[in-house]
């Protein structure tokens, strides 16, 4: 069964990466409908748009606000894929699987070593403690990859843990979902062009790096979502009417 794809988007998102992400989805990823929650850039029309003036002081809180709107919408499939606008699907996807890339403990240590303490690290540590007290695994699902989950299970989780903000790793460990190990695919520098089934970019690497040039060439063909409803209607009626607007009879 094909599932819906949900993009949680900043209200002020420009949409350039999103445009190419959707092109990669249309080419390589099985899905039913594409849904935007929050932002809706000019020139890109989703199948379903869920308006959300995002609330919260942090990025995690704002995206969680949009996520909760999405999972409460019964127009969506029971299981949905969570996407970011900087996810690119490079090969045909043939199975439903989620990925982890180590433990939350290791992620905390790595971030502290490279960046130092932060509210994000504190939130990770709080989540690790919650999962430990619940006798659950503490795997990290904080990868830049699509994430598949069930809406009802997510609703139940927010009912039990209303302050939950680190959704992916908490959900995956709490429900002990099937998963597989994969290194993260985020490209931060301007030189790397990875040969991987998935690619994720930063604003800088997409705009200025070799990976951005590669993606723009690889997915050069516009998708149906880049056309307005009026344009689609005109294209559908080309076979019915001639250039002067008269109905064809042949």
User: What average pLDDT does the structure give for the chain?
Assistant: 91
- Residue 135 located in a structural domain: yes
Whether 205 maps to a domain, the answer reads: yes
Would residue 245 count as lying in a domain?
Answer: no
What percentage of the chain reaches a pLDDT higher than 70? 91
What does the pLDDT look like over 200-235, one tens digit per residue?
Answer: 999 999 999 999 999 999 999 999 999 755 555 555
More confident residue, 226 or 58: 226
Query: 60 pLDDT band (50/70/90 cuts)?
Result: confident
Give pLDDT, residue 116: 85
Distance in angstroms (rounded) separating the CA atoms of residues 240 and 250: 9
- Rounded Cα gap, residues 246 and 238, in angstroms: 11
Burial of 118 per CB tally in 10 Å (0-12, 13-18, 19+)? exposed
Q: Is the pLDDT of residue 77 over 60?
A: yes
Give the pLDDT mean for 75-79.
98
pLDDT at site 152: 98
**Least confident among 54-58, 93-97, 103-107, 183-187:** 54-58
Per-residue pLDDT reduced to its tens digit, 129-162: 999 999 999 999 999 999 999 999 999 999 999 9
- Over range 183-190, report the average pLDDT: 96
What's the confidence (pLDDT) of residue 249? 45
Express each pLDDT in 6-39 by its tens digit. 999 999 998 999 999 999 999 999 999 999 999 9
Number of structural domains in the chain: 1
Residue 148: give the domain boundaries: 4-236
**Residue 57 binned pLDDT confidence (cut-offs 50, 70, 90):** confident
**Residue at token pair 């704002």:** 62
108 located within any domain? yes
Q: What's the confidence (pLDDT) of residue 236? A: 55
Of 181-190, 210-219, 236-245, where does mean pLDDT reach its minimum? 236-245
Mean pLDDT of 51-77: 91
Model confidence, pTM? 0.89
Instruction: Please check whether residue 195 lies inside any domain of the structure.
Output: yes
Q: Is the pLDDT of residue 250 over 50?
A: no
In a domain, 76, yes or no: yes
In a domain, 112, yes or no: yes
Tell me if 173 is assigned to some domain. yes
- CATH assignment at residue 149: 3.90.550
The DSSP annotation for the chain comes to: ---EEEEEE-TT---HHHHHHHHHHHHH---S-EEEEE---TT---SEEE------SSHHHHHHHHHHHHHT-TTS-SEEEEE-TTEEE-S---S--EEE-SBHHHHHHHHHHHT---HHHHHHHHHHHHHHHTT---B----SS-EEEEHHHHHHHHHH-TT---HHHHHHHHTT--EEE----EE-SSS----SSEEEE-HHHHHHSHHHHHHHHHT-SPPGGGS-HHHHHHHHTTTTB-TTSPBP--
In this prediction, residue 41 carries a pLDDT of 95
User: What pLDDT, on a 0 to 100 scale, did the predictor assign at position 238?
Assistant: 58
Q: What is the pLDDT of residue 117?
A: 84
């Amino acid at each position: 069964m094909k599932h819906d794809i949900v993009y949680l988007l900043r209200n002020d998102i420009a949409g350039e990466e999103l445009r190419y992400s959707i092109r990669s989805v249309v080419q390589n990823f099985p899905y039913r409908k594409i849904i935007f929650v929050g932002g809706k850039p000019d020139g890109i029309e989703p199948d379903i748009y869920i308006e959300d003036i995002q609330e919260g002081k942090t990025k995690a809180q704002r995206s969680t606000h949009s996520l909760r709107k999405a999972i409460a919408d019964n127009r969506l499939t029971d299981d949905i894929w969570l996407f970011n606008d900087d996810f690119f699907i490079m090969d045909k996807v043939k199975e439903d699987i989620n990925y982890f890339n180590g433990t939350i403990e290791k992620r905390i240590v790595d971030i502290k070593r490279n960046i130092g303490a932060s509210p994000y690290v504190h939130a990770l540590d709080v989540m690790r403690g919650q999962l430990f007290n619940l006798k659950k695994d503490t795997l990290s699902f904080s990868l830049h990859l699509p994430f598949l989950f069930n809406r009802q299970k997510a609703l139940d989780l927010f009912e039990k843990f209303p302050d939950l903000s680190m959704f992916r790793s908490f959900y995956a460990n709490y429900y002990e979902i099937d998963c597989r190990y994969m290194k993260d695919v985020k490209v931060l520098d301007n030189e790397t062009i990875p040969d991987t089934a998935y690619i994720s970019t930063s604003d800088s690497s997409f705009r200025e790096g070799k990976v951005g040039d590669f993606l723009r060439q690889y997915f050069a063909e516009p998708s149906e979502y880049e056309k307005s409803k009026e344009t689609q209607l005109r294209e559908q009626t080309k076979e019915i009417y001639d250039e002067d607007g008269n109905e064809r009879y042949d």
